[in-house]
Chain A
Amino acid sequence: DSGVTQTPKHLITATGQRVTLRCSPRSGDLSVYWYQQSLDQGLQFLIQYYNGEERAKGNILERFSAQQFPDLHSELNLSSLELGDSALYFCASSRDRSDEKLFFGSGTQLSVL
């Protein structure tokens, strides 16, 4: 158990809908990362937050947004969903903003039908 909690584990929704994925980092970790994993793209970095502030942005679509709250949990919001958004979404946390040792959650499997 990595100590990173992601909910829900599975999410099935329809095109055009909006969903929210939630992540609770390990106790004491200030940095949260979101990654998307699909069969054809591999593990792609989306966005990083450090102590409530956005620190780095990757290949995140404009339809996607994220935030980190004062209690350090994070949410990833995906809107106007398309079939191609179906993927496994991982959250990872680390002690500080540049710590390369990431602890990953078990992921949320999103299926857009």
Chain B
Amino acid sequence: EDQVTQSPEALRLQEGESSSLNCSYTVSGLRGLFWYRQDPGKGPEFLFTLYSAGEEKEKERLKATLTKKESFLHITAPKPEDSATYLCAVQVYGDYKLSFGAGTTVTVRA
């Protein structure tokens, strides 16, 4: 069974304090790994898709990287508006669904 594990469960940062979130996965035939952001009371919002080991994607203060067993979401010099739950998901070949991890809740204090 496909498994997606995110760590840590929660992360409290001071504004400007860079950090990384981890997403490790155990799947057969990874088609893609995805990062979503979810704000309280809202649906997840798409951030990135990574397809192969070594790939990197950036958006503002966020940078996602992928290896053969895990992905990292780096938050550089975070601001309070970066506070959210960050979800990692995988899709395997032959399957249309996304399997999500439990998420990492990031709180950035001013």
Contacts and interface: CB of A to CB of B under 8 A. Distances in A.
Contacts of A97: 96
Contact of A43 (B87, B91, B96): B87
Interface string A42-74: 111100100000011010000000000000000
B39 to A, nearest CB: 10
A90 B43 contact: yes
Contact of B32 (A33, A43, A100): A100
B87 A106 contact: no
A4 B43 CA distance: 10
B101 to A, nearest CB: 7
A98 B99 CA distance: 14
A100 B44 contact: no
Given A100-B32, A100-B34, A100-B49, A58 B97 contact: yes
B55 interface: no
Interface in B18-46: 31-32, 34, 41-46
Interface in B51-110: 87, 89, 91, 95-103
21 contacts: A4-B43, A33-B97, A42-B101, A42-B103, A43-B44, A43-B89, A43-B103, A44-B100, A45-B98, A45-B99, A48-B97, A56-B97, A90-B44, A97-B96, A98-B96, A100-B32, A100-B98, A103-B46, A104-B44, A104-B45, A106-B43
Interface of A: 2, 4, 31, 33, 35, 42-45, 48, 55-56, 58, 90, 92, 97-98, 100-107
